[in-house]
Chain A
Amino acid sequence: QQQVKQSPQSLIVQKGGISIINCAYENTAFDYFPWYQQFPGKGPALLIAIRPDVSEKKEGRFTISFNKSAKQFSLHIMDSQPGDSATYFCAASWGYNNNDMRFGAGTRLTVKP
Protein backbone atom coordinates (compact mmCIF):
# COMPACT_ATOMS: atom_id res chain seq x y z
CA GLN A 1 0.00 0.00 0.00
CA GLN A 2 1.58 3.22 -1.15
CA GLN A 3 1.90 5.97 1.41
CA VAL A 4 1.56 8.64 -1.28
CA LYS A 5 -1.36 8.39 -3.70
CA GLN A 6 -1.01 10.14 -7.05
CA SER A 7 -3.52 10.88 -9.79
CA PRO A 8 -4.13 10.79 -12.66
CA GLN A 9 -2.05 7.93 -14.01
CA SER A 10 -1.82 9.63 -17.39
CA LEU A 11 -2.64 13.07 -18.71
CA ILE A 12 -2.86 14.54 -22.19
CA VAL A 13 -2.79 18.31 -22.53
CA GLN A 14 -2.66 20.66 -25.52
CA LYS A 15 0.34 22.94 -25.91
CA GLY A 16 -0.24 26.10 -23.89
CA GLY A 17 -2.68 24.42 -21.53
CA ILE A 18 -2.43 23.79 -17.78
CA SER A 19 -1.38 20.38 -16.48
CA ILE A 20 -2.50 19.47 -12.96
CA ILE A 21 -1.31 16.43 -11.01
CA ASN A 22 -2.58 15.65 -7.54
CA CYS A 23 -1.14 13.77 -4.58
CA ALA A 24 -2.43 12.81 -1.16
CA TYR A 25 -0.74 11.35 1.90
CA GLU A 26 -1.68 9.99 5.31
CA ASN A 27 1.49 10.18 7.38
CA THR A 28 1.46 13.57 9.14
CA ALA A 29 5.15 13.16 9.94
CA PHE A 30 6.04 13.91 6.31
CA ASP A 31 7.71 17.33 6.19
CA TYR A 32 9.21 17.63 2.72
CA PHE A 33 7.30 17.26 -0.53
CA PRO A 34 9.34 17.19 -3.75
CA TRP A 35 8.24 16.60 -7.32
CA TYR A 36 10.48 14.70 -9.69
CA GLN A 37 10.49 14.62 -13.47
CA GLN A 38 11.68 11.58 -15.40
CA PHE A 39 12.44 11.29 -19.10
CA PRO A 40 12.73 7.88 -20.79
CA GLY A 41 16.02 6.16 -20.06
CA LYS A 42 16.95 8.60 -17.31
CA GLY A 43 16.69 8.64 -13.55
CA PRO A 44 14.20 11.05 -11.95
CA ALA A 45 15.41 14.61 -11.37
CA LEU A 46 14.10 17.17 -8.89
CA LEU A 47 11.69 19.67 -10.40
CA ILE A 48 10.42 21.64 -7.41
CA ALA A 49 9.87 21.00 -3.70
CA ILE A 50 7.89 22.48 -0.82
CA ARG A 51 7.91 22.33 2.96
CA PRO A 52 4.61 22.30 4.88
CA ASP A 53 5.10 25.76 6.40
CA VAL A 54 4.05 27.37 3.09
CA SER A 55 0.93 26.82 1.00
CA GLU A 56 2.39 27.55 -2.42
CA LYS A 57 5.73 27.62 -4.19
CA LYS A 58 6.31 28.82 -7.73
CA GLU A 59 9.33 28.34 -9.96
CA GLY A 60 8.84 29.58 -13.50
CA ARG A 61 5.91 27.69 -15.05
CA PHE A 62 5.79 25.15 -12.21
CA THR A 63 3.77 25.68 -9.03
CA ILE A 64 3.18 23.43 -6.03
CA SER A 65 0.00 24.02 -4.04
CA PHE A 66 0.00 22.49 -0.56
CA ASN A 67 -3.01 21.92 1.70
CA LYS A 68 -1.79 20.69 5.07
CA SER A 69 -5.22 20.16 6.61
CA ALA A 70 -6.39 18.06 3.67
CA LYS A 71 -3.03 16.29 3.41
CA GLN A 72 -2.91 17.01 -0.29
CA PHE A 73 -0.53 18.72 -2.65
CA SER A 74 -0.54 19.30 -6.36
CA LEU A 75 1.70 20.30 -9.24
CA HIS A 76 0.50 22.85 -11.78
CA ILE A 77 2.37 23.29 -15.05
CA MET A 78 1.33 26.49 -16.77
CA ASP A 79 1.70 27.03 -20.53
CA SER A 80 2.55 23.34 -20.97
CA GLN A 81 5.08 22.60 -23.72
CA PRO A 82 5.85 19.41 -25.70
CA GLY A 83 9.22 19.36 -23.92
CA ASP A 84 7.35 18.87 -20.65
CA SER A 85 6.21 15.45 -21.83
CA ALA A 86 7.63 13.11 -19.20
CA THR A 87 6.62 11.08 -16.16
CA TYR A 88 6.10 13.10 -12.97
CA PHE A 89 6.38 11.69 -9.48
CA CYS A 90 5.32 13.30 -6.25
CA ALA A 91 7.18 12.28 -3.13
CA ALA A 92 7.09 12.83 0.62
CA SER A 93 9.80 12.34 3.17
CA TRP A 94 10.35 12.43 6.91
CA GLY A 95 12.67 11.08 9.52
CA TYR A 96 16.18 11.87 10.63
CA ASN A 97 17.65 13.81 7.71
CA ASN A 98 14.51 13.10 5.69
CA ASN A 99 15.98 9.70 5.03
CA ASP A 100 12.62 7.98 4.55
CA MET A 101 11.30 9.13 1.17
CA ARG A 102 8.21 7.62 -0.49
CA PHE A 103 6.95 8.18 -4.00
CA GLY A 104 3.60 8.20 -5.75
CA ALA A 105 2.84 5.90 -8.67
CA GLY A 106 3.67 8.54 -11.28
CA THR A 107 1.79 10.46 -13.96
CA ARG A 108 2.71 10.18 -17.61
CA LEU A 109 2.17 13.60 -19.14
CA THR A 110 1.87 14.08 -22.89
CA VAL A 111 1.70 17.61 -24.25
CA LYS A 112 0.37 17.69 -27.81
CA PRO A 113 1.72 20.36 -30.16
Chain B
Amino acid sequence: DVKVTQSSRYLVKRTGEKVFLECVQDMDHENMFWYRQDPGLGLRLIYFSYDVKMKEKGDIPEGYSVSREKKERFSLILESASTNQTSMYLCASSLGRWTEAFFGQGTRLTVV
Protein backbone atom coordinates (compact mmCIF):
# COMPACT_ATOMS: atom_id res chain seq x y z
CA ASP B 1 0.00 0.00 0.00
CA VAL B 2 1.15 3.49 -0.80
CA LYS B 3 1.72 5.48 2.29
CA VAL B 4 1.94 9.24 2.65
CA THR B 5 2.86 10.17 6.18
CA GLN B 6 2.59 13.62 7.68
CA SER B 7 4.68 14.18 10.77
CA SER B 8 1.93 15.60 13.01
CA ARG B 9 -1.86 15.27 13.16
CA TYR B 10 -2.28 18.35 15.35
CA LEU B 11 0.03 21.29 15.90
CA VAL B 12 -0.34 24.50 17.90
CA LYS B 13 2.13 27.29 17.23
CA ARG B 14 2.51 30.91 18.25
CA THR B 15 2.31 33.86 15.89
CA GLY B 16 5.71 34.63 14.40
CA GLU B 17 7.13 31.15 14.88
CA LYS B 18 8.79 29.32 12.02
CA VAL B 19 6.83 26.13 11.42
CA PHE B 20 7.91 23.00 9.57
CA LEU B 21 5.39 20.47 8.25
CA GLU B 22 6.97 17.26 7.04
CA CYS B 23 5.63 14.77 4.53
CA VAL B 24 7.15 11.45 3.50
CA GLN B 25 5.96 9.03 0.80
CA ASP B 26 7.20 5.48 0.39
CA MET B 27 6.40 4.76 -3.28
CA ASP B 28 9.10 6.59 -5.20
CA HIS B 29 6.55 9.06 -6.57
CA GLU B 30 7.72 11.89 -8.79
CA ASN B 31 5.09 14.44 -7.82
CA MET B 32 4.40 15.83 -4.40
CA PHE B 33 1.88 18.48 -3.38
CA TRP B 34 0.94 20.66 -0.44
CA TYR B 35 -2.66 21.86 -0.08
CA ARG B 36 -4.54 23.68 2.59
CA GLN B 37 -8.16 22.79 3.20
CA ASP B 38 -10.64 25.33 4.53
CA PRO B 39 -14.44 25.00 4.77
CA GLY B 40 -16.15 26.29 1.64
CA LEU B 41 -12.85 26.76 -0.19
CA GLY B 42 -11.91 23.15 -0.83
CA LEU B 43 -8.29 22.23 -1.35
CA ARG B 44 -6.09 25.08 -2.46
CA LEU B 45 -2.69 24.31 -3.91
CA ILE B 46 0.21 25.95 -2.09
CA TYR B 47 3.22 24.39 -3.84
CA PHE B 48 4.00 21.33 -5.88
CA SER B 49 7.18 19.54 -6.88
CA TYR B 50 7.91 17.16 -9.76
CA ASP B 51 11.50 16.29 -8.86
CA VAL B 52 14.15 16.75 -6.19
CA LYS B 53 14.92 20.43 -5.67
CA MET B 54 12.19 21.39 -8.18
CA LYS B 55 9.20 23.37 -6.99
CA GLU B 56 6.40 25.39 -8.48
CA LYS B 57 4.00 27.85 -6.88
CA GLY B 58 0.34 27.02 -6.67
CA ASP B 59 -2.56 29.37 -6.02
CA ILE B 60 -1.59 30.58 -2.55
CA PRO B 61 2.20 30.45 -2.00
CA GLU B 62 2.46 33.70 -0.03
CA GLY B 63 3.83 33.13 3.44
CA TYR B 64 4.99 29.61 2.62
CA SER B 65 8.09 27.97 1.22
CA VAL B 66 8.93 24.35 0.48
CA SER B 67 11.93 22.08 0.39
CA ARG B 68 12.50 18.83 -1.46
CA GLU B 69 16.03 17.64 -0.80
CA LYS B 70 15.14 13.95 -1.19
CA LYS B 71 12.60 12.38 -3.51
CA GLU B 72 10.52 10.90 -0.71
CA ARG B 73 10.31 14.01 1.48
CA PHE B 74 8.51 17.30 0.85
CA SER B 75 8.52 19.92 3.59
CA LEU B 76 6.24 22.92 3.94
CA ILE B 77 7.67 25.88 5.85
CA LEU B 78 5.71 28.74 7.33
CA GLU B 79 8.38 31.42 7.62
CA SER B 80 6.52 33.46 10.25
CA ALA B 81 3.24 31.87 11.26
CA SER B 82 0.16 34.06 11.33
CA THR B 83 -3.36 33.39 12.62
CA ASN B 84 -4.74 33.33 9.07
CA GLN B 85 -2.59 30.26 8.42
CA THR B 86 -4.67 28.25 10.87
CA SER B 87 -5.94 25.44 8.67
CA MET B 88 -5.81 21.79 7.73
CA TYR B 89 -2.74 21.03 5.64
CA LEU B 90 -2.72 18.05 3.31
CA CYS B 91 0.25 16.50 1.57
CA ALA B 92 -0.15 14.27 -1.49
CA SER B 93 2.02 12.38 -3.95
CA SER B 94 1.51 10.83 -7.38
CA LEU B 95 3.61 8.69 -9.66
CA GLY B 96 3.16 10.70 -12.84
CA ARG B 97 0.83 11.33 -15.73
CA TRP B 98 -2.82 10.32 -15.35
CA THR B 99 -2.21 8.59 -12.05
CA GLU B 100 -3.89 8.71 -8.68
CA ALA B 101 -2.72 11.13 -6.03
CA PHE B 102 -2.43 9.66 -2.54
CA PHE B 103 -3.05 11.89 0.44
CA GLY B 104 -1.75 11.93 3.96
CA GLN B 105 -4.07 12.19 6.95
CA GLY B 106 -3.54 15.91 7.24
CA THR B 107 -2.07 18.23 9.86
CA ARG B 108 -4.49 20.50 11.72
CA LEU B 109 -2.40 23.60 12.45
CA THR B 110 -3.61 26.23 14.89
CA VAL B 111 -1.69 29.48 15.15
CA VAL B 112 -2.41 31.45 18.34
Q: Which of B98, B99, B100, B106 has a CB less than 8 Å from the CB of A43?
A: B106
Task: Count residues on chain B whose CB falls below 8 Å from chain A CBs.
Answer: 30
Alpha-carbon separation in the docked complex, A51 to B97 (Å): 11
Number of interface residues of A (CB under 8 A): 30
Chain A min CB distance to B59 (Å): 7
Tell me if B30 counts as interface (CB < 8 A to partner A): yes
| A100 and B56 within 8 A (CB) | yes
5 more A-B residue pairs beyond the given contacts A89-B43, A96-B50, A97-B30, with a C-beta to C-beta distance below 8 A:
A2-B59, A43-B106, A44-B103, A49-B98, A106-B43
Which residues of chain A have a CB within 8 Å of any CB of chain B? 2-3, 6, 9, 31-32, 34, 36, 41-46, 49, 51, 89, 91, 95-106
Q: 16 pairs across A/B with beta carbons < 8 Å?
A: A2-B44, A3-B59, A42-B105, A43-B90, A43-B103, A44-B103, A51-B98, A89-B42, A91-B43, A97-B94, A98-B94, A98-B96, A98-B99, A99-B30, A99-B56, A101-B45
